[in-house]
Amino acid sequence: MSLINITLIVYVVASISYIVREIWGSKATRRVSLGLLILAFCLNLTMVAKRSIEAGHPPFSNLYESLIFYACCTAFVYIIFEFVYNFRVVGAMASVLTMLILLYATLQDDTIRPIMPALKSNWMLVHVVTYMLGYAAFGISFVTSIIYLVVKPFAKNSKDSKEDEDGREILPKNFDKLSYKIVAFGFPFLTLGMVTGAVWAKKAWGDYWSWDPKETWSLITWLAYLVYLHSPLVLPKMNISKSKASVILAFWLLFAFGIVNFTFVGLNYLPSAADSEHIYGAK
């Protein structure tokens, strides 16, 4: 059995264990579920390292490599937040999201090919790593937004405690605030990815920005999350209640993550983007 299949299985088992943890609610199941996810992450990281050694360059030169690294980053970012907050349910959906990314990777051509000279740069490493960490955070915020929208209609009006006995748990009905924190974590990485990409483009092709489809949609992605981060200040001035604003922002995150996926994957399949220097991943 290949390493990617083993990793997929462990992600699935981790997801199931998180569901069991939610049902039983014991500290023992929390340790098991988190341990399984960390194991899956380590296997995923091994895949990334193995691919780097085999290819002789960072594993970002095609869609297959980018996806396995994206999955690795998603698991990593979730684990960070798992240690900060005692999540409920999120681990199961985060594991499924990561598993789906890897599953999509198995459908791609995994042939190792030489990379173009412009990609042989340390800027590529910084540019891609920061972008993927940003995308990973947005994927987790997508998950928390879905949970918030599902739970909100059933949330009690009473002021339930936001914390468990460890003083760290945030309840699902408060995931709108958590989503904001996660996006605030990921946005600087997205910004740094754009800046380093511009510097890299200047060194490789002579221009900081050429307005090709990938660059344009990367800017649109950045603007979408910039709007989200500033919306809590704007919506109250539009006489929109706090409750309605939270729902609007949750839906906005679902929309914004759709833009992320289109920018990352969808553009690769558009004929109009075939000549872009950034669409090498689909070739």
Per-residue pLDDT of the chain in tens (283 residues, 90 and over written 9): 789 999 999 999 999 998 888 787 677 777 898 899 999 999 999 999 999 999 888 888 888 999 999 999 999 999 999 888 777 678 889 999 999 999 999 998 888 887 777 677 777 889 899 999 999 999 999 999 998 898 877 765 444 444 444 445 566 677 888 899 999 999 999 999 999 988 887 877 777 777 788 888 899 999 999 999 999 888 887 888 888 888 999 999 999 999 999 998 888 777 655 555 555 444 3
Are 186 and 271 found together in one domain? Answer: yes
Number of domains in the chain: 2
Range of the domain at 55: 1-115
Are 136 and 250 found together in one domain? Answer: yes
Are 231 and 260 found together in one domain? Answer: yes
Q: What is the 3-state secondary structure (H, E, C) of 215-278?
A: HHHHHHHHHHHHHHHHHHHHHHHHCCCHHHHHHHHHHHHHHHHHHHHHHHCHHHHCHHHCCCCC
Q: Are 219 and 225 in contact (CB under 8 A)?
A: no
Task: Give φ, ψ of 68 to 5 degrees.
Answer: -70, -30
Amino acid letter, 237: K
pTM tops 0.95: no
pLDDT the model gives residue 121: 74
Residues 6+ apart with CB under 8 A from 115: 57, 61, 280
Are 101 and 140 found together in one domain? Answer: no
169 within a domain of the structure (yes/no): no
C-alpha span between 99 and 82 (Å, rounded): 18
Residues 6+ apart with CB under 8 A from 245: 231, 232, 235, 236
269 within a domain of the structure (yes/no): yes
Tell me the two tokens of residue 41.
Answer: 């992450």
